[in-house]
């Protein structure tokens, strides 16, 4: 008795699902969804070739240092890097003395406690400290940025589809709204305090263009600091902040693949040896 009832219940569910699918398809054909500005004018990120790309990728430490400089001089005014410590900069080629100097000279001090009174205070950063946030809290951050909250950049290239390519395209993608967009979607005019960027999900972003001109930073290694170069460098740096162990992961992956190939070969030879006397 239980089996027939179970079969009837299963058939009922199947019928309901099939009916819903057919009704949905018919409605979609009769009344297709209205076109939106985001759907028609949103662009996918442009490909970005970095040394860290691919299964054998390795970090270009000179580029990472340039990217850190862009972050320090341009991005750090609004965006935090709360999961990265100053001492982590050793991994991209800075010496211990340089790391200590960077921490000590950082524009924002870290929260502390006055040892004499126990009252909240601030102090100069040390190598062991995380990068301090530019705002004391979310309310202050929104108040300073037209009610928009600047996101933390530590894991940005892992949190966004296309990672570094997205960051690079976004930084170099600011432009005036196309006349075609305003003609087709007159209600899509960029509002006050927003900036048109076709690589952003809804086309309008609260962040003003951070890289506005060539030479905005001066690279110590003499690399020309074009807007595109600065965007590439800071994108590469954010790949490192999001996945600092990328190189060791790649090395481990290569070793595992080699091991599996050797083990497969040995297993196949053992199989041939064990069954060599058996005729089919």
Residue ranges at the known binding site for heme c: 75, 78-79, 207
Task: List, as one string, the DSSP characters of 176-225.
Answer: PPPHHHHHH-GGG---TT-EE-TTSTTSEESSPPS--STTSS--TT----
Indicate the length of the chain as a whole number.
280
Q: At what angle do helices 163-172 and 227-242 cross, to 10 degrees?
A: 150
Q: At what angle do helices 61-70 and 227-242 cross, to 10 degrees?
A: 100
Q: In this structure, how many other beta carbons lie within 10 angstroms of the beta carbon of residue 185?
A: 17
The strand pairing partners of 122, in sequence order, are: 111
Exposure string (b/e) for 73-92, b if CB count within 10 Å is 16 or more?
ebbbebbbbeebbbbbbeeb
> Annotated binding residues, as ranges?
75, 78-79, 207
- What residues have CB less than 8 Å from 226, skipping those under 6 apart? 214
Is the backbone of residue 64 left (phi > 0), alpha (psi -120 to 50) or beta? alpha
Q: In this structure, how many other beta carbons lie within 10 angstroms of the beta carbon of residue 3?
A: 7
Contact 235, 167 (CB under 8 A): yes
Contact 109, 124 (CB under 8 A): yes
| Residue entry with tokens 């965006």 | 79
């Amino acid at each position: 008795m239980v089996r027939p009832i179970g079969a009837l219940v299963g058939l009922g569910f199947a019928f309901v699902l099939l009916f819903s699918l057919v009704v949905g398809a018919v409605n979609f054909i009769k009344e297709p969804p209205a076109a939106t500005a985001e759907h028609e004018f949103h662009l996918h990120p442009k490909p970005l070739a970095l040394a860290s790309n691919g299964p054998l990728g390795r970090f270009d430490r000179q580029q990472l240092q340039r990217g850190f400089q862009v972050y320090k001089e341009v991005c750090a005014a609004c965006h935090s890097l709360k999961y990265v410590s100053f001492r982590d900069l050793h991994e991209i080629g800075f010496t211990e003395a340089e790391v200590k100097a960077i921490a000590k000279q950082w524009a924002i001090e870290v929260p502390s406690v006055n040892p004499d009174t126990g009252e909240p205070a601030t102090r100069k950063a040390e190598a062991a400290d995380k990068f301090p946030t530019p705002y004391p809290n979310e309310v202050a951050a929104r108040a300073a940025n037209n009610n928009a909250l600047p996101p933390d950049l530590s894991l940005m290239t892992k949190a966004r589809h296309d990672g570094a390519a997205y960051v690079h395209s976004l930084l170099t993608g600011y432009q005036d709204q196309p006349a075609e967009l305003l003609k087709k979607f007159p209600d899509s005019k960029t509002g006050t305090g927003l900036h048109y960027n076709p690589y952003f999900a809804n086309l309008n972003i609260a962040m003003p263009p951070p890289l506005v001109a060539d030479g905005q930073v001066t690279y110590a290694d003499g690399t020309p600091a074009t807007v595109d170069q600065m965007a590439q460098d800071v994108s590469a740096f954010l790949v490192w902040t999001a996945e600092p162990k990328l190189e060791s992961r790649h090395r481990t992956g290569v070793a595992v693949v080699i091991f599996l190939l050797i083990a497969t070969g040995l297993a196949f030879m053992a199989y041939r040896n064990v069954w060599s006397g058996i005729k089919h």
